[in-house]
Structure 1
Amino acid sequence: MNDLQRMVSTLWREGLRLCLLDLLWRLHGANDFMLVDLVAPYGFKATRGNIRAELSFLENGGMVRLDHLGDLVVVHPTERGCEVAAGLLVVHGIRRPEPRD
């Protein structure tokens, strides 16, 4: 992977993480299966594997809580995750949200 591909991959993942947090904040939670479809209108063509990898990153940072129910992962935003989604807290590895009207 060259430098440009690495940069695009990093930007994609940072944007997907913000999108996930924003959706979880507004929905008060979701599951990994739903999130695949929910991120698509925002330009993210993600697999469940992509979603789960980024949810793991968010869980490790204390921004979501994951409940594994068989093959399904139920995701709950934490207060920290909601603060990041609202732009009140900046976390390395997550794109900052645009100002809201």
Structure 2
Amino acid sequence: MAAWVYIMANRPFGTIYVGATSNLIRRVYEHRNDLVPSFTREHQLHLLVYFEQHQDIHRAMQREHNIKHWSRTWKDQLIEAGNPEWDDLYLSIAPG
């Protein structure tokens, strides 16, 4: 079953959060709508600025753990490699 690593932000080069999930659309929806008390809710991290797919949740969780230990510069470079404008990518994955 596929799994995802994703990064949420409140604005370009603002506060970010790295997470892993088996249901990217549902999880990002929860972040965007502040449905779960969390760091993302506290900091209004509503923009999906990066995501990558993995074969299973264990691999995604390992990648999440690795990225969380990277420097902020490396994280920003990861985002900018595929999303230089820090656009909200949620609309590209959400149905309808």
Q: After TM superposition, is the score higher than 0.5?
A: no
Rg comparison, structure with higher value: 1
Higher helix share: 1
Q: Which has the higher strand share?
A: 2
Instruction: Normalising by structure 2, report the TM-score.
Output: 0.33
TM-score of the two chains, using structure 1 as the length reference? 0.32
